[in-house]
Structure 1
Amino acid sequence: MKFEKIRDLREDNDKTQTELADYLHIKQTTYSKYELGKINIPIEAFIKLADYYNVTVDYLIGRESKKK
């Protein structure tokens, strides 16, 4: 499953994959694979990203259309 919202939020906030990878304590290549849907994103990472962007996890996974 591809998670376009995490890429869109990153780009909208002028962040790089490296910055988000550092925040999540992972490699940039791993973060890239998250965005492309090549590997599953651990729930802990979803929660951290939702907190970082001040959105819900449901928004990140596409279950709701409003950020908050």
Structure 2
Amino acid sequence: MYFQRLENLRIDKDLTQAYVASFLGCQREVYRRYEKGTRQIPVDFLIHLSELYNVSIDYLVGITDERKPYPRKK
């Protein structure tokens, strides 16, 4: 499931749920629910998470296994 990727990416970066929650501006419990798949992630949070982990949103949500983000528009 795609939400498992959130946890794996966070652990790979040695970040805590509290840190990521603070980065997103939400409570740790809310972020924990994103990682467990019991709560939908807002689009703006997906954008911020893709930037934090340097991956595409498609990777975050399980559409692709390619981590590389798309090139930015100039």
5+ residue gaps, structure 2: 69-74
TM-score after normalising by structure 2: 0.88
TM-score of the superposed pair, with normalisation by structure 1: 0.95
Percent identity between matched residues is 38
- The SS at the match of 2:19 is helix
Output the CA distance in 1 between the equivalents of 2:22 and 2:40.
Answer: 18
Task: Show structure 1 runs of 5+ residues with no match.
Answer: none
Query: With CA pairs under 8 Å and 6+ residues apart, which has the higher RCO, 1 or 2?
Result: 1
**CA RMSD after TM alignment:** 1.1
Larger Rg: 2
* Structure 1 runs of 4+ with >3 Å offset: none
Aligned length: 68
